[in-house]
């Protein structure tokens, strides 16, 4: 197949060269099949292999224990390179790693299953591989509800376990999405209610300022009561606009809006002498008139 791009050069700086080589080898085998390289002679296939591996890997190849005759056999060359990058597997260690594997809290179910399959390939489980992977899924899955459902299945297989795990994860993701949407709606409604209450309060305060009551005018003219002294109209201490003297008639001066004890009026006596004889032998009479000289208590000022 013309124009097919070959795999990249093998990355010798990888922290896990065994895995790096396995992935690269799989890509190369796929490339050889797709490009028709497998139909070539062994000499040509070896040349393609070394070319794609890169110069650094070719230097490693030159150090391998391989005879001149072996260098002409493609399968032998591939095996020699494979043995270099993939050391002898310790099945006991790999089995221990497999048995300790559990799903991470943020790990997806598919990622967990894929890693179990990869690890099991190094454990030499033989025909028991699928059953052991299935059992490990039941033991290592972090969703407790899913674990109970898996244990309840009498004839559970690897395929059915994977299907149930994917369905449970998808359902959980949908529930979380709906909960987030519900919280967003509740937040918007709460903000709208708070805005409405603030708007209503501001409107009420505005109307209150625009229409001052009579008690405010009364307060303005001197009915202010402070903690240190009594009101100038009633003599008591009270809240703003709550003067009990408002609207009351003073018994002393007959004016409104103050008590007699707080009245500031004065009594002025005028003496009128009648020079005419009243015919009763009196030289004159004294007429006393009471005049109110007080501060103007005009109701309009209250």
Residue 220 predicted with pLDDT over 80? no
Where in the chain are the domains?
Answer: 17-85
Per-residue confidence (pLDDT) for residue 279, from 0 to 100: 44
Residue 126 predicted with pLDDT over 60? yes
Residue 212 predicted with pLDDT over 80? no
Percent of the chain with pLDDT over 90: 48
Name the least confident of 112-116, 135-139, 177-181.
177-181
Per-residue confidence (pLDDT) for residue 23, from 0 to 100: 93
Per-residue confidence (pLDDT) for residue 73, from 0 to 100: 96
Residue 56's pLDDT band (boundaries 50, 70, 90)?
very high
Q: Which two tokens stand for residue 21?
A: 């080589």
Residue 168 predicted with pLDDT over 60? yes
One-character DSSP codes across the chain: -TTPPPPPPP-TT-S-HHHHHHHHHHHHHHHHHHHTGGGS-HHHHHHHHHHHH-HHHHHHHHTS---TTGGG-HHHHHHHHHHHHSPPP-HHHHHHHHHH----TT--HHHHHHHHHHHHTTTT-GGGHHHHHHHHHHHH-S-HHHHHHHHH-TT--HHHHHHHHHHHHHHHHHHHHHHHHHHHHHHHHHHHHHHHHHHHHHHHHHHHHHS--HHHHHIIIII--BTTB--TTTSS---TT--TTTTPBPTTT--BSS-GGG---EEEEEEEE--S--SSS-S--EEEEEEEE-----GGG-
In sequence order, the β-bridge partners of residue 226 are: 229
Over the chain, what is the mean pLDDT?
80
Residue 128 predicted with pLDDT over 60? yes
Please write the tens of the pLDDT for every residue from 266-288.
Answer: 654 444 444 444 444 444 444 44
How far apart, in whole angstroms, are the C-alpha atoms of residue 89 and residue 92? 9
For 258-268, what is the mean pLDDT?
Answer: 76
How far apart, in whole angstroms, are the C-alpha atoms of residue 65 and residue 77? 10
Per-residue confidence (pLDDT) for residue 60, from 0 to 100: 93
How far apart, in whole angstroms, are the C-alpha atoms of residue 33 and residue 149? 43
Q: Which two tokens stand for residue 231?
A: 């009101």
Please write the tens of the pLDDT for every residue from 226-248.
Answer: 555 688 888 888 887 788 888 88
């Amino acid at each position: 197949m013309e124009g097919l791009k070959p795999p990249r050069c093998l990355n010798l700086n990888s922290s896990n060269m065994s895995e790096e080589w396995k992935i690269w080898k799989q890509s190369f085998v796929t490339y050889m099949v797709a490009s028709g390289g497998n139909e070539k002679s062994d000499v040509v296939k070896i040349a393609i292999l070394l070319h794609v591996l890169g110069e650094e890997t070719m230097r490693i190849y030159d150090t391998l224990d391989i005879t001149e005759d072996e260098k002409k056999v493609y399968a032998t060359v591939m095996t020699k390179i494979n043995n270099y990058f993939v050391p002898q597997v310790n099945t006991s260690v790999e089995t221990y790693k497999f048995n300790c594997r559990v799903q991470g809290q943020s790990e997806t179910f598919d990622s967990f299953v894929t890693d179990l399959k990869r690890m099991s390939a190094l454990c030499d489980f033989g025909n028991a591989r699928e059953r052991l992977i299935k059992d490990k899924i039941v033991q290592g899955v972090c969703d407790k509800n899913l674990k109970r459902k898996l244990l309840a299945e009498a004839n559970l297989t690897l395929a059915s376990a994977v299907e149930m795990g994917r369905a449970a994860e998808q359902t959980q993701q949908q529930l979380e999405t709906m909960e987030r949407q519900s919280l967003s709606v509740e937040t918007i409604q709460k903000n709208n209610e708070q805005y409405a209450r603030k708007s209503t309060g501001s409107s009420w305060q505005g109307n209150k300022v625009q229409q001052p009551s009579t008690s405010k005018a009364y307060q303005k003219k001197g009915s202010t009561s402070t903690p240190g002294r009594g009101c100038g109209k009633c003599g008591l201490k009270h809240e703003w606009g709550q003067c009990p003297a408002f609207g009351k008639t003073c018994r002393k001066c007959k004016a409104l809006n103050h008590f007699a004890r707080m009245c500031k009026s004065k009594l002025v006596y005028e003496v009128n002498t009648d020079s005419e004889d009243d015919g009763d032998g009196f030289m004159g009479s004294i007429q006393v008139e009471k005049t109110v000289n007080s501060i103007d208590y005009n109701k309009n000022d209250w």
